[in-house]
Amino acid sequence: MSSPTRADVCVAACADLFAGAGEILASPMGLIPTLGARLARLTIEPDLLLSDGAAYLVADTPAVGARPSTVEGWLPYRKVFDVVAHGRRHVVMGANQIDRYGNQNISCIGDHAKPTRQLLGVRGAPGNTVNHPTSYWVPRHSPRVFVETVDVVSGVGYDRARAAPESARRFHAVHRVVTNLAVLDFAGPDHAMRLASVHPGVTVDEVLAQTGFPLVLGSSFVAETRSPTNEELRLLREVLDPRGLREKEVAR
């Protein structure tokens, strides 16, 4: 079997976001997180609930872009908020900006009153980060994304959660950030972002140069992100993404 590509490594790292999750709703936003959630359900987390990305919970785990064959539940837009409030969910969102404490911006760039770029708006980010585990996928790790301070807080980070009343921070859990270069967690002092692993072929210096603030390094040695197993590669290449769409999102 040919060696794993960078996209394969990113998908496996997104699958690992759900390790130990059990029977919760996985809400991956975007292609790589979706492949990660489906790979997790076919390997480490068979009880993970997955939707078709619209309003149906699906019992099978189809290829991306394929229609599911077995619907096991109905979860329309308005019902998602009940799941959010209940907390049995792990969302993987994107991030136009993210800072060292996990504050995320998908709303706009510049002054909120007169932005230079209008993006998606805060969407479900505030409620997600206050109610249940939240991770992020960043397809292009760069100082434009990893910034000292985000322009607008959509997803709440650890510094703001810490300043909030106990009731507001009780379920706050920004889990990890997976990028095209590395996996980062919030195991630094005061939950500052820490470089947990670099992908095969990526150097620590390269990640530091692409991050707009100092990253915490756990020790003198930074681990390498694990490579997918042969079975994971088979599932990816033959079942979940036979058309190789993942290679279009993550440069080799």
| 80 vs 235, beta carbon nearer ligand F8G | 80
Residue 112 or 144: which CB sits closer to ligand F8G? 144
Residue 182 near residue 131 (C-beta atoms within 8 A): no
- Least distance in Å: CB of 108 to ligand F8G? 9
3-state secondary structure of 44: coil
* Residues paired with 138 in a beta bridge: 179
- Using DSSP's 3-state secondary structure scheme, residue 50 falls into strand
- Cβ of residue 61: shortest distance to ligand F8G, in angstroms? 21
Candidates 193, 243, 237; CA nearest to 11 is 237
CB of 43 or CB of 142, closer to ligand F8G: 142
Nearer to ligand F8G, 113 or 163 (CB): 113
With CB atoms as reference, the residue minimizing the distance to ligand F8G is 94
Q: What are phi and psi of 58, to 5 degrees?
A: -110, 140
Question: What is the C-alpha to C-alpha distance for residues 223 and 204, in angstroms, rounded to an integer?
Answer: 10
Token representation of residue 97: 């900006």
For residue 146, the minimal CB distance to ligand F8G (Å) is 9
Q: Are strands 71-74 and 89-93 parallel, antiparallel or unpaired?
A: unpaired
163: amino acid identity, one letter: A
Give dist(CA 90, CA 119) in Å, integer.
23
Q: How far is the CB of 64 from ligand F8G (least distance, A)?
A: 16
Nearest residue (CB) to ligand F8G, 12 versus 125: 125
Q: Which is nearer to ligand F8G, 55 or 217 (CB)?
A: 55
Helix (H, G, I), strand (E, B) or coil at 91: strand
CB of 241 to ligand F8G, least distance (A): 18
- CA R_g for the chain: 18
Among 14, 3, 71, smallest CA distance to 240 is for: 14
Q: Which two three-digit tokens encode residue 176?
A: 């990890």
**From the CB of 75, what's the least distance to ligand F8G, in Å?**
10
Residue (118 or 230) nearer to ligand F8G, CB: 118
Residue 41: in which H helix or E strand, if any? helix 31-42
Question: Which residues of this chain interact with ligand F8G, rule CB under 6 A?
Answer: 27, 29-30, 77, 80-81, 84, 91, 93-97, 106, 109, 117, 119-120, 123-125, 128, 144-145
CB of 193 to ligand F8G, least distance (A): 16
